[in-house]
Structure 1
């Protein structure tokens, strides 16, 4: 049974209006809002809604009573967009009556604010999805995955006692090479980047009312090179070709270099190779990731769309690939929806959408903990073996 079918009271809701925002809370479905803002995003957890309305409902002849902590659902038309809790309730009284506003957070609010709880704080022989499910279960949040996201085996993982569940999931998903974000039904989804494709695009002069772009070279480098984490002994003053050749000596064995053709002046960046990175495989992926992600984060589009939905009637959603066409571009380009805000006010309904290249959200290649620990143990063992050799060295008078 849907959330709407078992509501005991309806205040102005019409199923014919596909963009009518309604709240199902405490046996009531309430709509007819003065101001609405619903914010969803890949880096927006929890998903939030802020809604203002009159406390007294003349159609029903009663005053609404809503308290923080009530479980609720937010719908746009028949589409569920947030399942969560009423977190804040505010009232503002003047001669015209009482204006009430409430802020709603998705169920993931408890993952973000509450400390993680485990039967054991050190896990082995498991995968990323299982760890995320275990840390979320005490808070009543279900974690699912698509396209095998989170299937990466995590041979050894330790939780810091002061960490929140969200912080644990963030570390685990980085190891698994996936992203995670809120779903309308209150679950959290583990997913690769760009899991869905919009059925229609965003076109300047058609459904785009306003568009702004941001391009930057901050944080971008002409060359990113991985180097071995050994102290560099400079046998000559650090200048000229000698310095360059000595730096090449600590990076040549790794052979992990990536360049950004968009950076025309010399801007080098050195990154260390992780201990235990066999054949420098992670380092080679890491330098490519550094260039791609830094480029992605430097390119941002903010636009206002005149509709909350694409041409197929589906709401704009985070992690969706969409074609964007500007008048000044020769062809359409594929961008990723990073964030969307459904807003309604005196000027009507608008969707505020932030887009970035998909590379902006690509997870960082990391060495799994067990591999790193084995490398540390081997390094410590080799250091310990040198003690006997040192005792046999004879001292010579100078």
Structure 2
């Protein structure tokens, strides 16, 4: 009986530990109200998940008493765990599910970044010059009333020129920008998004088999890995090979530029070719990309998926994406891994659990990207003309940079 009481007290936050009770604050017009005591909750957060989402369930009888039936799609919504704000967004869908034995109401919520993912990017001009990554990202988010916050200066990267494709969503623009700056971007609790380096924070504790880990799956794989990643030029040399020489050796000698990266963990010959793009001065970007291909594929080959018995570390802080945490295996081996994805779930019957996906930090490093403007000869000429005339192409009025950290 004491175990059941402990489970109930943990669910409702009756002890001295931080509460794990899920609640929402819903704002309709000028009226706000808090709704608690959900019978089920599933929250999904991640570095590569945008928007963050929540699905909260309640019996129809309880929902009527709590005022859930007055919630409407489009209402502004803040999702809390205890007193911790997890994310800010909108009610997307309200589901009324009536069956022969039960009647449930489910409220589905998405963070504010849902508008960045689904809506077009709009500018007064789609060609920007002499600006930087953070400033453009802030401009592209303005329509959704979302700010972009730099963590420790991430994204404060000057770029000569940037061209927005007319049909791109705001998310797609920011995704290209983040690769130019070699940073991650993801949701923040306050409804804004941040740009950050990989592993911007560290948990006070980690995950250990036999302690807070209920289930763990580790993977070791050669899937998608290559023994060597080789950069090659793109030209017509392969069409004109002397038949009296070793064709492959002759072609490769002309096509390769001396840029390659190797994965010593791949035992047989498995080569991957990547192109050297126009405008890549001294092959700098293709060298970075070759090493990125090796590092990322290695990192993705060793994922750890586990279920923890709590949503918080030893200091009472919620597990969050882009957090470094030690993982102690059954044999005592400790690996410092990065939290990439979280599913926080809770029901009255089953209690509180966190499904966590962790990988080596290199698995989340953004792909190096050559600015497409620099790879386009026509745009290079236009930019050169603008720099000399200083009036040929209009530039956006971008907001000043903010010296803000998360």
TM range, smaller chain: 0.7 to 0.9
The reply on whether 1:316 has 2:319 as its aligned counterpart is yes
Q: How does 1:124-135 map to 2 (within 5 A)?
A: 124-135=129-140
Structure 1 unaligned blocks of 5 or more? 1-11, 379-398
Measured in 1, the distance between the counterparts of 2:25 and 2:208 equals 34
Alignment partner, residue 275 of structure 1: 278
Alignment partner, residue 391 of structure 1: none
Q: Does structure 2 retain, via aligned residues, the 8 Å contact 1:221–1:268?
A: yes
Q: How does 1:27-46 map to 2 (within 5 A)?
A: 27-46=32-51
Deviation at 1:260, TM superposition (A): 0.4
Alignment partner, residue 339 of structure 1: 341
TM-score, normalised on structure 2?
Answer: 0.83
Higher relative contact order (CA 8 A, sep 6+): 2
Q: Does structure 1 retain, via aligned residues, the 8 Å contact 2:141–2:170?
A: yes
Q: 1:286 aligns with which of 278, 286, 289?
A: 289
Distance 1:117 1:225, change over 3 A: same
Q: 1:363 aligns with which of 353, 363, 366?
A: 366
Q: 2:227 aligns with which of 211, 222, 228?
A: 222
Deviation at 1:372, TM superposition (A): 2.7
Measured in 1, the distance between the counterparts of 2:331 and 2:253 equals 43
Distance 1:250 1:203, change over 3 A: same
Deviation at 1:214, TM superposition (A): 2.6
Structure 2 unaligned blocks of 5 or more? 1-11, 382-406
Higher gyration radius (CA): 1
Measured in 2, the distance between the counterparts of 1:78 and 1:261 equals 48
Q: Does structure 2 retain, via aligned residues, the 8 Å contact 1:275–1:376?
A: no
Deviation at 1:51, TM superposition (A): 0.4
Deviation at 1:58, TM superposition (A): 8.8
Q: 2:174 aligns with which of 152, 169, 176?
A: 169
Q: Does structure 1 retain, via aligned residues, the 8 Å contact 2:237–2:254?
A: no
Measured in 2, the distance between the counterparts of 1:105 and 1:15 equals 30
Alignment partner, residue 241 of structure 2: 235
Please state whether the residue corresponding to 2:258 is helix, strand or coil: coil
Measured in 1, the distance between the counterparts of 2:15 and 2:188 equals 22
Measured in 2, the distance between the counterparts of 1:282 and 1:376 equals 19
Measured in 2, the distance between the counterparts of 1:61 and 1:36 equals 16
**After the TM superposition, which of the residue ranges 208-217 and 54-63 deviates more from structure 2?**
54-63
The reply on whether 1:260 has 2:266 as its aligned counterpart is no
Distance 1:82 1:309, change over 3 A: same
Please state whether the residue corresponding to 1:56 is helix, strand or coil: helix
Measured in 1, the distance between the counterparts of 2:100 and 2:376 equals 68
Measured in 2, the distance between the counterparts of 1:265 and 1:209 equals 37
Residue deviations 1:223-281 (CA, integer Å, cap 9, x gap): 11112222234534599x55224313322xx3211110110001011111111222222
Measured in 2, the distance between the counterparts of 1:351 and 1:230 equals 51
Q: Does structure 2 retain, via aligned residues, the 8 Å contact 1:277–1:367?
A: yes
TM-score, normalised on structure 1?
Answer: 0.85
Deviation at 1:308, TM superposition (A): 0.3
Deviation at 1:293, TM superposition (A): 0.9
Alignment partner, residue 52 of structure 2: 47
Deviation at 1:369, TM superposition (A): 4.0
Please state whether the residue corresponding to 2:237 is helix, strand or coil: coil
Alignment partner, residue 396 of structure 1: none
Alignment partner, residue 149 of structure 1: 154
Q: Does structure 2 retain, via aligned residues, the 8 Å contact 1:179–1:191?
A: yes
Deviation at 1:349, TM superposition (A): 0.4
Tell me the number of residue pairs that the alignment of Structure 1 and Structure 2 aligns. 363
How large is the RMSD of aligned CA atoms in angstroms?
A: 2.4
Residue deviations 1:142-169 (CA, integer Å, cap 9, x gap): 1111122111112211212221111111
